[in-house]
């Protein structure tokens, strides 16, 4: 059970412990720590949030898949971005739920995931049906986007990523084109709305 808010971890942990079908073997408020725990414990199910300060839920899922390929993963997120949900589904996450999902639906969904199904809650399914996939951003473009969100200038971004300022500018231009915006402010607003970066 992984979420950067301890109260959410506690609530979900208690919910599952009250449900006799589950045994919670580990909890964490850190994505990086969660990867280590999953590698050590090889849980049947990993339940995690998307937006965390160190690494996000998708990055946790991809790392855990390398070290514990039999672990199935459910994302329980506060984001309603259809584009983000598409990216998570396309990456192979086994279940997608909103944090407002009814506890009974969550528990039933987790059991179905363990039985081998891909499961979503009604609100998530509605988002998936009503949107198109997000623009296909490269890993480097996502890195540049995160630097922009931190307020780094092109030279500072270039220094951090070990590329030239001109290359940074090219990535910035590509990001604006792909996200259909024409200013840095609009770029950041759209990126947050689509779940590409966390505030």
Where do the domains of the chain lie? 6-130, 139-193
Three-state secondary structure readout of the chain = CECCCHHHHHHHHHHHHHCCCCCCCCCECCHHHHHHHHHHHCCCEEEECCCCCCCCHHHHHHHHHHHCCCCEEEEEECCCCHHHHHHHHHHCCCEEEECCCCHHHHHHHHHHHHCCCCEECHHHHHHHHHCCCCCCCCHHHHHHHHHHHCCCCHHHHHHHHCCCHHHHHHHHHHHHHHHCCCCHHHHHHHHHHCCCCCC
Full strand arrangement of the beta sheet holding 119-120:
45-48, 72-77, 95-98, 119-120
pTM over 0.75: no
Right CATH for 139-193 from 3.20.20.70, 1.10.1740.10, 1.10.10.10, 3.40.50.150:
1.10.10.10
Q: Which residues of the chain have pLDDT under 50?
A: none
The pLDDT value recorded for residue 134 is 56
Looking at residue 129, its pLDDT comes to 74
CATH class of 6-130: alpha beta
**Which pLDDT value is given to residue 172?**
92
pLDDT at 145: 92
pLDDT in tens, 42-52: 999 999 988 88
**Helix 165-179 × helix 139-149 angle, to 10°:** 90
Exposed/middle/buried for 167, CB within 10 Å: 0-12, 13-18, 19+? Answer: middle
pLDDT, tens digit, 9 for 90 and up, residues 119-154: 988 877 777 776 555 567 888 898 999 899 999 999
């Amino acid at each position: 059970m992984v979420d950067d808010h301890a109260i959410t971890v506690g609530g979900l942990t208690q919910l599952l412990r009250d449900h006799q079908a589950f045994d919670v073997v580990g909890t964490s408020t850190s994505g990086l720590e969660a990867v280590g725990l999953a590698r050590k414990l090889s849980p049947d199910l990993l339940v995690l949030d998307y937006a965390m300060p160190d690494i996000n839920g998708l990055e946790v899922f991809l790392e855990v898949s390398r070290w514990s390929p039999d672990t199935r993963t459910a994302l329980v997120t506060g984001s309603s971005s259809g584009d983000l949900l598409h990216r998570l589904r396309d990456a192979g996450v086994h279940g997608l739920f909103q944090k407002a999902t009814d506890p009974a639906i969550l528990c039933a969904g987790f059991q179905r995931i363990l039985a081998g199904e891909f499961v979503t809650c009604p609100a998530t399914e509605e988002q998936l049906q009503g949107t198109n996939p997000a623009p296909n951003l490269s890993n480097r473009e996502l890195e540049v986007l995160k630097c922009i969100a931190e307020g780094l200038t092109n030279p500072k971004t270039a220094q951090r990523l070990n590329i030239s300022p001109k290359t940074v500018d090219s990535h910035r231009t590509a990001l604006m084109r792909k996200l259909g915006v024409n200013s840095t402010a609009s770029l950041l607003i759209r990126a947050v709305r689509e779940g590409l970066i966390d505030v």
